[in-house]
Each structure stands twice: as C-alpha cells, then as structure tokens.
Amino acid sequence: MDYFEYRSGELFAEGVPIRRIAREVGTPAYVYSLATLRRHFRVFDQAFAQLSHLVCFSMKANSNLAVLRAFVKEGGGFDIVSAGELFRALKAGAEPKKIVFSGVGKKKQEIEYALSAGILMFNVESEQELALLNEIARGAGKKAPISLRVNPDVDPKTHPYISTGMKKNKFGIDVQRSLEVYKRALSFSHLEVVGVDCHIGSQLTTIPPFVDALSRVKVFVEALRKEGACIRYLDLGGGLGIRYKDEEPPHPEEYAGALIQGLEGLDVTLILEPGRVIVGNAGILVTEVLYLKETDEKKFVVVDGGMNDLIRPALYGSYQGIRPVVERKGEMIVADVVGPICESGDFFAKDRQIPRPQPGDLLAVMSAGAYGFTMSSNYNSHPKAAEVLVDGENFDVVRARENLEDLIKGEVIPPALQ
C-alpha cells in the first residue's frame, strides 16, 4: 500500500497535490512519500520481530540523505557498496555498527575508510579481497569483522541483469569452494569471521529461490562453528520484488515466515538487505508533456524526463506505470512515452494506452522510488532532477534540482587551450 492516490480526479502524494509540487519545484522531479517509506520499513521489520534481526536498507536503491535519515530513525542499518555510500550513510546519522559492506570491487581506500568507521562487517567476495582486508587491518592494528558472500548457485528467475546468485555471475564465492575459503579466512590473524552472507538477485517474485539459498548457506554456520568460529550473523541479502504491473510478489510476512521456518534452531542474528521493496512504490517521477508527435505509424508523447532520469525501461525493458496527474476523460491513444535524449532506447513506455495528453500536462511515472534517482546521469548534459519528500500536508525539496553550473563542476580548460 502506498499514499499516491487520486482525489477528485487529481493525483496526490499523501495530502499534497502533485500539481502543486510541479508548479513550485518544476519537472522532472522525484516525489517520495514519507508515510509510505515508514510504512514499508515497519511492515518489513516487524515481519521478523520474533527473531534477532537487523534490517540494513540497501541504499543503492535510494540514497537520498532524507530518505536514509527516515530509516535511521526507524532503527535501520544500511547495506553499502562504496565509500560514497558509507559517507552518505554516516552523514544521515547511521550507526556504523549497523552497516554491512558488500560489493565485488572494494578498493583499498574504501576498505580503510570502512574499517576506521567501525562497520558491522565486510561481506567479502573473493580470496584476494580477503587477503587485502587482512593486510589493511594489520596496518591499522585492528581485526576486521567479515563474512563471505557465498554464491549458492540458485536461479532467482528474474531479469538476467539483476540475477546475482548463479555460478555464471561475478558475485560471491562458489558454494563448493566456500568452506575452503572460510578456513583460509580463519587462518588470517587480522580477520574475525563473524557471519555468512548471500544475495541471489533482485525483483524476485516467488519464495522458493530464497528458501533454497538459505538451505544452501546455513550449513556453513554449523560447519564454521565446528571450526571454532564465533558465527553471529546470517545475512540473506535483499531481493524481494514489488508490483510494477501485475506481478504478485509475496508479502513481506510470507517471505519472513518462510525464512524464519528455514532458520529453525539456528542461533544467529539475521541480517536483511532489502532495497526495492521498501522504496520502490514510495516514489514517483513527475514529468511534463512537451509535445505529442503523430505519424502514420505511431504516436509519441515527448516528455521532459528521460533515460538520464530513470534508466530502468531503457536498460531492462522494464515496465513502469504511467498515470496522468490530472485525470483526463476522452479519447484514449496508444503511444510511446519518450524522453528528450538522443537515443531510440530513451523511453518510459512503449505502445501504452493513455488518455490523449496536451502539452503542459503532467504525467507520473509510478514505482520510481527504487533505482530511479540513484541510477540517473547527466547524459546529454541534463541537470539531475529535484527530489522532494512529502510528509502529510507538507513537502520539502530534499535535493535541489541541479543547475547549469553544476554540470561543469570540476572541469578545467588547460592553459594550452586558453
């Protein structure tokens, strides 16, 4: 459930008409609902209430400081994948002891930064990373808390670009070799093996792959304890899907129920790294119709937001709902909703039935709260969109729209060219 609803034919975010936001902030603009963010976090968190657990929001899905702060206030932690994300999490007031660091390509400086911040654990993805981490920890006179990201080789049955737990994926350590690598980890003087980790993919809409992965990785908890390691955490990553169109993903309670059952008798703190399920349907992208182009073959609704703002349809061919901000009665047309970018892949929707729009109309691209702004770019030198957080009857601009000067920040014309 979210808080984007029509009232007398007009789309609202909570108590605020989207039209008002567009008038005051301009377009394109991301609009997030605080009540929805909180609700989704709480529903997810409470689903695991009977277990010792920690929800580490996967901030690659949405890393706006205000959004992160909302989760800090809910007691949440964060799953980070870069120094930049660590910086943001700390700026938002995150407790370092609630941060886990995933990712196949952690650089030396990033590891040093996370080690000095005192994060909860490093989810290590290769043997070389293990050795580097040990070296860095030795240099710092510390013991680095680690888990290994085990690649359990299960098919999450999602888009190939966002499937991560199969043998052919670059992520994690082959389940067959994991015990051996774990034993190596135990031999390092400056590492402390504290957990087991996996993440199999994103936008999963069924439970069995999660349960499968759990059964394949939980054996390591016992095996490592036998080796004398004090295993405290089992991190099952994120991946629970949402409804974009007609998907019927399991409710967090159903998901939690299945995991809780699979964990029976295992004395660990469960870590979860949800991203999309918390923020996906808590945000929309508001864009303005610039032109309606009609040819014999096709109709194109040209809007002011593009793949630079929201790349998911272009990158994955994914479906995003499109709704008129002010409902229009009358003729329906079938059109592609496209952006201003000079690429044929720049579309939000293909052959979509929508009420015939007029230039100046506002459209809402739905389910844009996850992997929307965080994947946006300045391609074609478009300043990045504004981000707005609605709270009841009020809203705040939580990231100002970029301006033209922002576009050239750090660029220099060398003396020889002056």
Active site residues: 342
In degrees rounded to 5, what are phi and psi of residue 337? -100, 115
**From residue 180 to residue 199, what is the string marking binding to ligand LLP with x (rule CB under 6 A)?**
-------------------x
d(CA 10, CA 234): 45
Name which of 200 and 325 has its Cβ closer to ligand LLP.
Answer: 200
136 lies in the binding site for ligand LLP (CB under 6 A) = no
**Are the beta carbons of 135 and 121 closer than 8 angstroms?**
no
Binding flags for ligand LLP, 203-232, as an x/- string (CB under 6 A): x-----------------------------
In the block, tokens 């964990």 appear at 263
Q: State the residue for tokens 């690649």.
A: 151
Q: Which tokens sit at 115? A: 């080690």
58 lies in the site for ligand LLP, by CB under 6 A: yes
CB of 318 to ligand LLP, least distance (A): 7
Question: Is 308 among the residues that bind ligand LLP (CB under 6 A)?
Answer: no
Check residue 288 for interaction with ligand LLP (CB under 6 A): no
Minimum separation from the CB atom of position 125 to ligand LLP (A)? 9
Q: Which is nearer to ligand LLP, 211 or 290 (CB)?
A: 211
In DSSP notation, 177-234 reads THHHHHHHHHH-TTEEEEEEE---BSSB--SHHHHHHHHHHHHHHHHHHHTT----EE
Give the containing element (helix H, strand E) for 263: helix 252-263
Residue from 12, 113, 371, 395 that binds ligand LLP (CB under 6 A)? Answer: 371
Q: How far is the CB of 161 from ligand LLP (least distance, A)?
A: 7
Of the candidates 53, 56, 115, 60, which has an alpha carbon nearest to the alpha carbon of residue 82? 60
Contact set for ligand LLP, span 232-251 (CB under 6 A): 237-240
Strands 16-17 and 10-13: antiparallel
Q: Which is nearer to ligand LLP, 273 or 288 (CB)?
A: 273
| Nearer residue to ligand LLP within complex by CB, 239 or 357 | 239
What's the CA angle centered on 279, arms 324 and 320, to 5 degrees? 35
Contacts of 14 (CB under 8 A, 6+ apart): 3, 33, 34, 35, 390, 391, 392, 393
Strand (E) or helix (H) holding 255: helix 252-263
Residue 245: Cβ within 10 Å count: 10
313 touches ligand LLP (CB under 6 A): no
276 contributes a contact to ligand LLP by CB under 6 A: yes
Shortest distance (Å) from residue 134 CB to ligand LLP: 22
Number of Cβ within a 10 Å radius of residue 344: 9
Residue 274 contacts ligand LLP per CB under 6 A: yes
Spatial contact of 59 and 68, defined as CB atoms under 8 Å apart: yes
Spell out the residues 6+ positions from residue 259 whose beta carbon is closer than 8 angstroms to its own: 48, 210, 211, 214, 236, 270
- Closer CB to ligand LLP, residue 212 or residue 391? 212
**Region of 47-55, 57-65, 129-137, 377-385 interacting with ligand LLP (CB under 6 A):** 57-65
Candidate list 218, 232, 312, 399; residue touching ligand LLP; CB under 6 A: 312
Q: Is 61 in the site for ligand LLP (CB under 6 A)?
A: yes
Q: What does 88-122 look like in DSSP terms, one character per residue?
A: HHHHTT--GGGEEE--TT--HHHHHHHHHHT-SEE
| Among 2, 14, 45, 79, contact with ligand LLP (rule: CB under 6 A) | 79
Q: 18-47: which residues touch ligand LLP (CB under 6 A)?
A: none
The count of residues interacting with ligand LLP (CB under 6 A) is 21
By CB under 6 A, residue 273 contacts ligand LLP: yes
State the residues that interact with ligand LLP by CB under 6 A. Answer: 58, 60-61, 79, 102, 162, 164, 199, 202-203, 237-240, 273-277, 312, 371
